[in-house]
Amino acid sequence: MPNILLLGGTTEASALARLLAKHGVPATLSYAGRTEAPRAQPIPVRVGGFGGVEGLAAYLRAARVTHLVDATHPFAATMSANALAAAQLAGVPLVALTRPAWVPVSGDRWTRVADIRGAVAALGGAPRRILLALGRMHVADFAAMPQHHYVLRFVDAPAVSPILPHHTLIVDRGPFTPEGDRALMEAHGIDRVVCKNAGGRGAEAKLIAARALGIPLLMIDRPTLPPRAEVTDPAAVLEWLDHTAVPTERGV
């Protein structure tokens, strides 16, 4: 009998959870616990870190997980690297459910940067009004460029006010809509957007809105991940499960 551990936190992970529930496949979705009220799921949920590679390998063994699906965000590089290592340690097959990186289309005014530091460096010069659509974890890096007015969007209200001297804080969770993001950019007079190359549709709205308004966008490239089996469609995970035998009990 299969027993899936699904590392979640993305639109695709939630879509797969619905599919697994529909097919009655025993599965648990795992959140890190970064948000106050993560989306309810149709399968059992666990919340919190595992305690690194060893902790996850121990969890896989103790919970008799037969298949590990890494459906975390492309920027959750530590989790993805740990998942691969723990799966190998525990002898559990792993597949990643990810989404293709966005590529610029006509009308886009992208400047690509390698990482958050590159984005900060690219924001030198005259004061601008910047939509910093990166969530909460990287805001402090932009204190190096205090001349700008930043419009921030967090999932939850922060305990302390962000340290950027000029900022507007919006508390909202996605998925977002192009209409909503366009209205936001117009209302705040945005003249730059900064975002991660998350891919997928749940965060794409700001790209579409920036394109429509002709606003330049700083696109942060994804961290490189170790090679692993990858699919980009939740249904492909079901096929993978069918073709990946449940590891037999290792003889003792």
Binding interface with ligand NAP (CB under 6 A) = 7-10, 30-32, 34, 49-52, 55-56, 72-73, 75-79, 82, 196
Cα–Cα dist 110/127, whole Å: 19
| Window 73-112: contact mask with ligand 3Y8 (x via CB under 6 A) | x---------------------------------------
Provide the b/e sequence for 221-246 (b: ≥16 CB within 10 Å): ebeebeeeeebeebeebbebbeeeee
Q: Which of 3, 35, 168, 244 binds ligand 3Y8 (CB under 6 A)?
A: 35
Following CA atoms 221, 225, 227, 228 in sequence, which dihedral angle do they give, to the nearest 10 degrees? Answer: -110
125: closest CA among 107, 111, 137?
111
For the CB of residue 30, give the shortest distance to ligand NAP in the complex, in Å. Answer: 4
Tell which positions 144-183 bind ligand 3Y8, by CB under 6 A: 153-156, 173-176
Look at residue 2 and give the partner it binds from ligand NAP, ligand 3Y8, none, a contact being a CB closer than 5 to 8 Å depending on partner kind: none
142 forms part of the interface with ligand 3Y8 (CB under 6 A): no
CB 96 within 8 A of CB 230: yes
Cα–Cα dist 167/153, whole Å: 10
Of 38 and 93, the one with the shorter C-beta distance to ligand 3Y8 is: 38
Reported as half-sphere exposure (CB side, CA atoms, 13 A), residue 124 has a value of 4
Of 31-39, 82-90, 111-119, 226-234, the segment contacting ligand 3Y8 by CB under 6 A is 31-39
32 forms part of the interface with ligand 3Y8 (CB under 6 A): yes
